[in-house]
Chain A
Amino acid sequence: MRLERHLAVLRANLRLSFLLAMQYRWEFLLDGAMSLLWTAAAIVPLYLVFEERPRIAGWTYGEALLVMGWFTLLDGLLKGAINPSLVTVIEQIRTGTLDFVLLKPADAQFLVSTARFKPWRLLALGASIAIFVYAFSLLGTGPTWGGVAQALAMLAAGIVVLYSVWILVISVAFRAVRIDNLRYLFEAVFEAGRWPSTVFKGVLSFVFTFVIPLALMTTYPAEALLGTLPWERFAAAWAGALVFAAVARGVWLRSIGSYTSASS
């Protein structure tokens, strides 16, 4: 019954998102086209850097492209499935219409997380597959089935972390009300995920592994595809992802408890 209700809500929200996408189809098509353009443009610096040197921090151009592929996929997911809801909920907190979400007989975190999607961003999926194919053609090999399975499992962990970070950002919105800056900061930091994590040294390396684990989101899946990701690291990453999810859930529940709404 509970699951059924939540699935029905998800279906209804997806339907609404498609309707909205149709309503403003030019905006959304342009949005999709722009994201493809940005992906193509983002490969340029990578190409330029590798033209100077064959290897950077142990990565060849082809290998680094795999990281780029996962980044493109996650970026599409972030902007297509996560950010639209985030923008919606922040607005709801500010205007107090989050009241209506909390009045609904379903898990509030679920309702808030599935509020809005941007279907055109799914184009990123196609772009990332194209990058993977190109990268492996440069490398002259292909991934093993085991590697693909491990990479997908790693991607799932990456999504869990990305989503948890996002829930934490919203929780801040309950206290700070307006957090546009925090959102931009997060997006800017996320951009670093397009580089293999070993490129970063010192403090940055620590931050990108443990605070905002970008390594887990893009570098580990790329290593899994290459067959170089040790299983211990894989297990540790999943454990970390679960801790992230649990902390996010706890913080979220506390935030809902202290929600003050906006006055009538």
Chain B
Amino acid sequence: MLASHRLSLAWIGRGVEIERKFVPCTIKKGSEMIEMRYEAPRTLKAAVALLAAANGRAKVLAGGTDLLIQMRSGRIDPELLIDVKCIPELRTIAEEKGGYRFGAAVSAMELVEHEGLARMWPGVIDAVKLIGSIQVKGRATVGGNLCNASPAADSVPALVAAGALARIIGPGGRREVPVEEIPAGPGLTSLRAGEMVVSILLPKRPQRSGDAYLRFTPRTEMDIAVVGAGVNLTLNAKGVCSRARVSLGAVAERVLLLPDAAAALIGQRVDAAALERLAAAASAACRPIDDKRGTKEYRIKVAGVMARRAAQIAVKRAKGEV
């Protein structure tokens, strides 16, 4: 019997989870008796032990919205799936030092519906809201979005602009790294053998701060960023920008943090001229490729536009206008 009848968007697509039995099992693949194991450890220690023992043939399963598609398409063929959704540290959102720490397996919809976090980091939530459909967000996780290491991941530029820190655990213990250091290239992370991301910390922020994320996609939704831009800034009492972080997605092999673009804002009133310098710096930092989702030339131009428009929203939020 369910204790509560909470009906919210966060539960759409997660119905199965309510009654799921996390039974380790072996799945036969083909007739060659190649086997794939599924494990759902309940502690970090057990997860790390499984991961370390698998010699790189294991995959961590959180929401599975990228992993299962990659398995179905034949792009990856793991021997072990480690489902991390039963580990409490990966499933909680908690206040920490005036900011918020959330587990790597917290679903996107749980973040969207967390009032405190959404109020403090609206730009991060802008980005999380753009991941897939509501149904997909019911399963997809920000930890997975980060570790899938797509240059076009929506939540990552927003986290990078926010100055988020990732907590990593592995055979060598725990360590904390800035989020921007995790993706290394398409599908590649800087995580060492046997390591996984446990949680992400969105730090406390000063007064008069605002952040925003904008992406460009040909469709209005259900699409992948051609360019994504995250801006996080703080204004002083006179309305001058005192701190800023700017990041771009889908314009390089990984999400970029752009100090030069941030410098165009710091010490400025964020007027039209500063915004133009920001846009120029953002475009200059791009090193995109031509692919089916957009041309090089197009991405470079639109990166500046998205960065400028995101900064305008961030300023309004810092001023409390929206």
Chains A and B are bound partners: no
Which A residues lie at the B interface, using CB under 8 A? none
Which B residues lie at the A interface, using CB under 8 A? none
